[in-house]
Each structure stands twice: as C-alpha cells, then as structure tokens.
Chains A and B, each alone.
Chain A
C-alpha cells in the first residue's frame, strides 16, 4: 500500500473512529435514560424496558413494561410516583435525536471505508452496509414514533422494529471487512479478529432472533452490536498510531506533553547515589 493511501486511510479511520466514539456515548446515554429505577420482570423475558416496548406483541402489556404509579394506601405515606412512562419517552427522544443519527453516520462511514479502502472483492459489501444502515435508521425512526404513540394510546412498534433488526444485523455482518483494513501488528490484528467474530455473532443472533421470534436473542444481538461498535472504534482509532506496533506507539505517546513529564516524574531509582549504595552493601562475599 502506498504511503499516500496509508495516510489517507489513517485520516479517514480516525474520523470514522471518533464518530463511532460519539455513537457509543449517545448509545450509553440512551441506555442510561431507558434504565428504570427498579428492575421488574418484562414480557418475553428481555431485560431492557426500551427493547421490551419496541418488540411488544400486545399493546395491553405496556403497563407491565412502564408500570403505573403505585396506589396510595390508607394510613401510609403517599408512595413516590414512578413516572416510568415519562422516563421511557425521554429515552426514546434521546434515541431519536442522538443515537440514531450517530450510529447511522458511523455505519455509513464504515461502509464508505470498506468501499474506498477495502480490497476490490469486498467493496460491494460497503454499499450493502450503507444501504442497510440507512434503511434500518428509517425503520428505527418509525419504530420510535410508534413507541411514543403506544405510551399514550394505540401503536405498533414491533413491525418496524423487526425490519430494523434485520437490516442492522445485515449491516453489521457486512461491515466485517473494515477490521481487515490497513497494516496490523499483533494487537490490532487481535482486535480485528475479535471484531469480526463479534460482528458475525451479533448479526447471526439478530437474524435468527427475528426468524425464530426470540426476543431474548435480539436483545443479545443488541449487546453484541455494542461490543462490535466498541471494538471497531478501538480498531479505527488505533489504526494509525499502532501501525508499527504497541511499543513504538507507547514511545510516541511518552514524547508528548504531559506524558513526557509523567514518564520521568518521581524517579523510580536514584542514580546519583548508585556508588554510595554499592559501596555500603556489596555483593562481594569476601
């Protein structure tokens, strides 16, 4: 690979990596907002209330996901309101305005990286990633619209949700060539292989979960997609600095302020006193 192409890949990977980091942050924010204060059993055995809501099979189960406020009891202090519906609505809003745009941008950039820098035989996969991601994002928005409707009245988020999971699973599986880009030493290569394994596992879980109607598998796929995102971010951000291996990268880091100070801060030996030490307690046995 020519130096110019390597440099270009490094620049593009860096941009893509930072967008991925932003997508991860938005994802964490959404997950945090959607985590209800008290855990309770959810339909289909899933653990995330947002996921339970988007994959809901019967609108009457909404109360099981976002529980109404507890009734007051005679002689007891008024119970704290749960406000679970409001909390889920807030999580959906964060998902709509932060996470969906962020992950869509990230996956589209990943697809573009595969198209631009991947070997010719895998380039079409880049296009599949872009198309599937854009389609998935549209259905994700539809799903959010239906979820908000369901919190206040009738709504059917499951239909768009299932299509979204199929498209995103496809996108994740087709994005695996991104983990084979650039020069890779041991660490990057290991991260790359882990990324490929996780992406394929996440995609397979997602597709089979939809096929078999198993919501727990879809939830597992969501977790593995997050792990794949994290591995992709580390891989892409590490592509340039780690291209010669870990030790040179650490050396380069140690030359930068403030790490240059830290690398010599608090001397871990006292070279000036070497002679005095050795003369006092010699290893000579005589």
Chain B
C-alpha cells in the first residue's frame, strides 16, 4: 500500500495531465455542465460554411496534439515506473500489465478528448464529416510516423551520425542536460554500467524535442494563419491548450524526477523560480500606448456634447459587461435600434450622444461607434459591426497564453531584447483579434476625441477598474473633469496627458475578463517605475450606469440654455435579470472559510444591480427631462433550451448566435424598442407600426 501511494505521488504530473484530458469534456459538454458556459467553446472547433481544408487541418492538429500529450504522459510515467525504484529508493514495480496501462490509459484519454470535439462540433453534412474523419486519421498517421520512422531517423542523426546538422543543433542542450544528470545520476544511469545513460531517457529527450518542434510548427502556422469568414483562424483553441498541457507534462515531470529524490516539493521549486523571475521588472503585463500629438484636441465636456442637440432628443447608452454575449447583444441592440429608427424616419445615430460601457459591452459598442462615417452610421459598416462583435476571439487568447505568455513566464529576461515584446501577451493578442475593420486597426482615442469635438461621432466612456485602488478608470473621448480629490474615479487622459491609446487597447482594458486577459499597466520606463494596473470595469460597476449618470448630471447642470428637449438612457443588459439566489444547504469548516469570499461575490452582483437601478431612477426623478429604457436579454429565450447558461468565454457557438437573433424579436425587447422609437418621434403620434418584429 505504501509503495502504491509513493508511486501515485511520484506519478502526480502525468496522472493529473491524464485526468485533465478526461475531465475537460466531462465538465464542459453535458447540459448544465459545471464549466459549460466557460469551456464548451473549446470543443466547438469548426464553423459551418468554413472551407473543407479548415475542418481537415483542425481535426488533424487536434488529434496530433492530443496524441502527443498522451505520448508525453506515457513516456514520463514509464520512466518513473522503471527508474523510480532506483532514484527514489523504492521497490521497483514493473509488469507487462503496467506496460499496457501506460499506453492504454493516455490513449483512451486522448480519444475521449477528441470525441468531445466530435460531439460538440458535430459535422452535419458529408463534407464536414469527411474533413473530420480524414483529419482525425491524418493526425493519427502523423503521430505514428513521428514515433516510428521519423523518430528512428532523428535518432541516427542525433546519436549516431557524428557530423550531422541535427547533432550540432541538439548537441548543446543535450550536453547541458548530461551535465545536470551527472550531478545526480541515480535513475538515469544504466545499473550494469553506471557511466552509461539509459537509452530510454535519451528516447524521452528526443521525443521532447519533437514535441517542441510541433509547438514551433503550430506557432508558424498560426502566425501566418488564413482567416475564413467570421474571422476564425485554423488552429483550434483546444489544440493550443493541449500544447500547454504537453509542455507542462514534460517540464514538470522532469522537475519532479530531479527534485523528488531530495524531497523538495514541486511547488517549492516553482515558487522559488517564480520569485526570482519576478525580480525582473519586465515580468509584468504592459499595454500599448502612443505619444499624444502635442496639438491634440482636448476632451469635449459633457455640456459641449449635449449642446449640439439643443431642443432635440438625446440618447445615451449604458452597456453592461458579460464577455462575448455582451459584445454581441450590445452591437445587435444598437444596430437594431438604428434599423428601427431608419424604418420610422428618425435619427437614432445622430441622437446618440454618449456611450458608457463595461467589459464585453465595450467591445460591441466599439464596433458600432467605429461604424460612424461623417456623423451617420454607415449601413454596411454597421452590418459588419454586428458580425465582428459575434466573431470568436478565443483562439487569439489561447495563442497569447500558449506562446508569448508561456515564454515570458519562464524567461522574462528575454522580453527587453526587442522592445515591442514588452506589450505582447494574450491581452494584445485579443486586441489584434478585435481589429476587424480598417479603421479600427489605426484608431486611437485621440482620433475619436477629435471626432466628438467635430460632432461626427458619439462620445465613448470605456470603464475599467484600477486594481490597486479599486477606483473606476475611464478611457474616454469626453471628460468628467475628474479632480485629484475624487475618490471613486480616474481618467486616463488626465493621469497621462502626453499619452494616447489605441481604441482596441482601451476596450481590452475595460474588458479584462478575469484570467482570460491579464491586468496590465502602462508601458513607461521599461517597467522600472510603479504604475497602476487596470482590470475589468465590471469589478466596480458592471452596468456602466455610474459613469453615464455622473456624465449626464454634470452636463445638464452646466447647461442653462441650449438644453436637449428630453434625454433617454438606454440600458443594455446582456444577461436576463436574475432573481435572488436560492438558499443553500452548506455548512462545515470549508463553508466557514469560503463564506466571506462568496458573500463578497454575491454582494457584488446584487449590490451593483440595486445601485445601478437607484442611480438611474434618481436621475429621472423630480420632473427631470431624463427617462430610461432597459433592453435586457430576455430570460424567455432560455425557457425551452437544453442549457440555460449564456456563454462566458470569447466564443459563440452557432446555437448561441441563433439565440441572440431570436432574442431581438422577443415581446419584451419589442416593447423596449417601441419605447425608444416613441421617444425619438414623440411629435409624430401616427408612428406605431413602422417597427417590425
């Protein structure tokens, strides 16, 4: 029993990697799966209508990646079972049955994972099925070739042929490894001849190099990836995550094999390494800034923006957060309201004065505000904005995590070699993915600020949160004239008067969804100074109402004349309004331990919603000219669905897109649309049937 437990401990990395392969589809795919809203998108690897070769390469790469993880598990586990006895002074347990298990279990785990992708992506026609089948078979064949023919050739090149290029290429790392092994050869050396290295360790090292080569090949493919309709790259997110699992299995098992002999826990090794690396000032996440034009246009004041609609109706938007669901819903609502307005002969786009957005809502609003051309919403650009807001960005986040973030985490000292590396991470990858229009590729807040001044674009207020102080940080093209004494709010343009940021960067900081993108700080002095880190605006106010209410109050209080004749706050909420959570049966010390955190989380949701409603209603009180409409994603849409959870990642499945389209025609949403159009055209009472469902 003791030996068994000892081996289970020594095998913890391969066992956990194997468990990850099996657990991922189980926690992601079934209906109401615990991590379904967050992880289901990983398995949605193909897109209907994509070219045949996209499905083929997707399944080929996915299968190959899963099998290479299985190989990493099998080979590392086998080394521990065969040589752990000598290295850790344990009874050696080896048998033909274990030889079978080290192959069968990881292979089965890989098969379960690939099956998960098959189930979720579900090829629906012959074309899709053939690409998936051929892709899976090709991935398997390449794997077998890698472990047999290619591996034998590599062996000859690296270990036999003394003059080969590969021998010179791999000579340095292998020599370094040999030097480490010489310090502690137990378990590495052949027991019959202690001066000789066991061939199986050389075999494992070579396969590790092959895995690294695959990691680099995927990087090259991804870097030059072809985008298909909807902006889907050819490397699936799941494949990229498998690459991390593969490298983690190799690397961490190597560390445990080295250090377990000295009873040094793996976590200690990682903590020490992490602590040392954190001494480098570049071991942080930075966001891109550009030097502001010395002749920059100052931010428009709220009253300046409102004044241009003197005597006319004004609409302001508060768009809530919630990942891609919020992005897609916000874009769809704004585009839909413009469509309604055109049908009714109104000017929604010109009445729109300001947009205060949070997290995913910022992404959707960004695309819509970008669609302004000479003061009006361009119909074609608006249609593209809705598609862009619904397009997946998950693969880019995974790419950023797998490549720049992984490399910088292990070798942060490499970052300053090339200054642009400082701002390259999964956050910047997300920004790059969002640059889906020519205008967004180069747009900065200063450019949009000038447009607000010229009355050709509404003002935007992207809400982020300062991680250190808990304050709201506004990336905006209008100003609330925040003073240094204001405790609840900061403005980027006032904190950094000489800096400008790309619009996508401002939106990314507003939409720093926990863990998906990192908290980031401004890039100044190569990290050798102390700066605030910015995170998702939803920590402070997930509804965007706090900022828009303050902005309106400021603007309206300053205007004595030239007031708009009425103001409408349109609140866009991307998730159904939730009822209070049910009481739960929980107790014990674990509940005691977690209770403060869980309460904080619950209060964040309930408190923010209550305060948001209160702020908006207070502004509308006392005969004010301000009224409000809430356009909420209707709960009714989920009533007859298998899974009542909207997506929480940066990816929408075809089902999610269908639900978003259905939601626009929901009766409650229709009523809200009618109220907006009635507000715009109050003078014209005949307008009741210009909107169609």
Residue positions of A touching B, CB distance < 8 A: 37-40, 70, 73, 75-76, 79-80, 82, 186, 247-255, 259, 262-266, 268-271, 273-274, 276-278, 280-285
Contacts and interface: CB of A to CB of B under 8 A. Distances in A.
B197 A283 contact: yes
Contact of B96 (A79, A82, A263, A274): A263
B100 A273 contact: no
B104 interface: yes
B103 A247 contact: no
Contacts of B685: none
A252 to B, nearest CB: 7
Contacts of B659: none
Interface in B300-340: none
A250 B178 contact: no
A264 B99 contact: yes
Contacts, number: 123
B195 interface: yes
* Majority secondary structure of chain B interface residues (helix, strand, loop or mixed): helix
B95 A273 contact: no
Interface stretch (B185-193, B457-465, B543-551): B185-193
Interface in B146-200: 147-148, 151-152, 155, 159-160, 162, 174-175, 178, 181-182, 185, 188-190, 193-197, 199-200
Contacts of B642: 37-38
A65 B193 CA distance: 74
Given A251-B95, A251-B97, A268-B103, 17 more contacts: A38-B644, A79-B640, A82-B640, A247-B98, A254-B95, A254-B96, A264-B99, A265-B103, A268-B78, A268-B203, A269-B203, A270-B151, A270-B155, A278-B193, A280-B159, A280-B162, A283-B195
Nearest to B693: A75
A273 B199 contact: yes
Contact of B199 (A38, A251, A269): A269
A47 to B, nearest CB: 10
A37 B160 CA distance: 62
B640 A37 contact: yes
Nearest to A255: B96
A264 B99 CA distance: 7
Shortest 3 CB-CB contacts between residues of A and residues of B: A250-B97, A278-B196, A269-B200
A282 B147 contact: no
B667 interface: yes
Contacts of B95: 247, 250-251, 254
A276 B202 CA distance: 11
A254 B100 contact: yes
B1 A186 contact: yes
A47 B150 CA distance: 54
A273 B161 CA distance: 12
Given A38-B641, A280-B159, A283-B195, A270 B152 contact: yes
Contacts of B193: 278
Interface residues of B, number: 53
A38 B640 contact: yes
Contacts of A264: 99
A276 B203 CA distance: 12
A276 to B, nearest CB: 5
B32 A39 contact: yes
B74 interface: yes
A14 to B, nearest CB: 20
A161 to B, nearest CB: 24
Contacts of B638: 38
Interface string B656-680: 0000000001010000000000000
A40 B639 contact: yes
B203 A270 contact: yes
Contact of A282 (B148, B195, B203): B195
A254 B99 contact: yes
Given A266-B103, A278-B197, A283 B152 contact: no
Interface centre among A80, A253, A277, A281 (most CB of B within 10 A): A277
16 contacts: A38-B638, A40-B639, A254-B100, A259-B100, A262-B100, A263-B99, A263-B103, A265-B103, A268-B74, A270-B151, A274-B190, A277-B199, A281-B174, A282-B196, A282-B197, A283-B181
A186 to B, nearest CB: 6
A65 to B, nearest CB: 15
Given A80-B640, A262-B103, A278 B190 contact: yes
A192 to B, nearest CB: 16
